[in-house]
Amino acid sequence: MNLRKRGRTSGRNLAKILLTAAPYGFGPTAKLVCLAQVLAGRHELIYVGGSPGLELATSADFDDILEFGDRDAWSENAATALKSADLLVSVHEARALYLGSGVPDRTLFLDTLLWARRMPLPNNRLPTAYVAQRFLKPLNLSVHLTKHIRQIGAILPPSTQTFGALSNKNHAAPIDRDPQRVLVNMGGLQSPLTLDGAEISYIRAMTRLIAHTRVSDGPLDICLPKHLARHLATLQAECPAARFMMPSHHEFQNLLSACSLLITVPGLESVLEALANNVPLIFLPAHNGTQFLQYKAYKDCSLGLMHMEDYLPPPVALDLTGLSLRVQLRNGDLLQTASIILSLSERLDFLLENSSKALQRKNVAHGRELLESIGGDGLTELESVVEELLI
């Protein structure tokens, strides 16, 4: 289905770039939204994807937005767009590289989870350029054969003006914007591994948790994915003091820059963006396997004022798929229990009552150092790879 088509000035000789993302929450699409901001107007940008990333893309700088339908056999419109593209840019959607004669000669695969895998993706030499975003946890070079993989820094929105100040040791972390405003980020949550009902049961539990804390006494914004809009009335009843929102990527950046504290799932993009905006972090329990691995990395790096995952039994699984299922099954059992929610809310209240501004500033400064360790401006580096492939 074609969701949007923008007009183009006739006579312009633009490269046609097809950008696609795996439907694993907002993260993969968020990277393409950032890239579209710097490429818009210079090339024709076609986004192809599925929910929930599809909803995030509708407010971004793409010229055309299409659903791919079956990930292994794209819809006619999407397949036609792919066949006529000069360049394919894929974020974690490896299936797009295997769609037969329709795949263009030039392809770029962006991997933000290489650090979490035992090995790069199978046939990782298939794309013209394999690009990996660095993370707080370094690659295991004994198992990751990275000579042909180009590593880049954190890919952040162009509006995040932080990298120039990262090396300035005297830069003051501006966490006094509004001492009471708290932002809660539930993430995209949905993925092909999401169990039926797991999303809304998790969000209801986290909403109840927040409602039982002093956080709800001040200005409180709770961000949800758009595909859960039908549950807004139920969630509002759980936490009447909150303002529930389904923001675009740009709107989320504005909320983030105005808040004094981010309470978030242990995702990837929102955490890096919070570090860039000097916002202290508190982590909700993991919702899936990737979030659990990221929680462990954040914990190892001493990032964040609190990790609620610490107070739940750890899931045990051999692979990422099994881990995702175990996390969701555990949450389904525990996070519906009033005593567990009350225990977590009491721990959060204790932290908020005893967390000084000095401690918050120290943690924010540590986060900036970690972000700097990832290196450079990843968005500019990614833009350069795109332009190199188009020459």
**Exposed/middle/buried for residue 194 (C-beta within 10 Å: 0-12, 13-18, 19+):** buried
Nearest to 385 by CA among 100, 167, 90: 90
Write down the pTM of the prediction: 0.90
| CATH top-level class of 2-153+376-390 | alpha beta
CA pair distance 241, 225, nearest whole angstrom = 19
Nearest to 44 by CA among 26, 20, 19, 78: 19
Cα–Cα distances (Å) from 333 to 38, 129, 292, in that order, read 44, 43, 17
Place of tokens 């150092």: 369
Do 119 and 143 meet the contact criterion of CB atoms below 8 Å apart? yes
For 278, the enclosing helix (H) or strand (E) is none
Do 147 and 124 meet the contact criterion of CB atoms below 8 Å apart? no
Say which CATH topology domain 165-373 has. Rossmann fold (3.40.50)
CA pair distance 270, 195, nearest whole angstrom = 23
The reply to whether 2-153+376-390 and 165-373 are identical in fold is yes
Domain layout of the chain by residue ranges: 2-153+376-390, 165-373
pLDDT per residue of the chain (391 residues) written in tens, 0 to 9: 566 555 544 445 689 999 999 988 888 999 999 999 999 999 999 999 998 888 889 989 999 999 998 888 999 999 999 999 999 999 999 999 988 888 999 999 999 988 887 766 777 788 999 999 999 887 766 666 667 889 999 999 987 744 444 444 444 444 445 567 999 999 988 877 888 999 999 999 999 999 999 888 889 999 998 889 999 999 999 999 999 999 988 999 999 999 999 999 999 999 999 999 999 999 999 999 999 999 999 999 999 999 999 999 999 877 888 999 999 999 999 998 999 999 999 999 999 888 888 899 999 999 999 999 988 799 999 999 999 999 8
- For every residue of 26-42, DSSP letters joined together read SHHHHHHHHHHHHHBTT
Torsion of CA 23, 287, 367, 115, to 10 degrees: -60
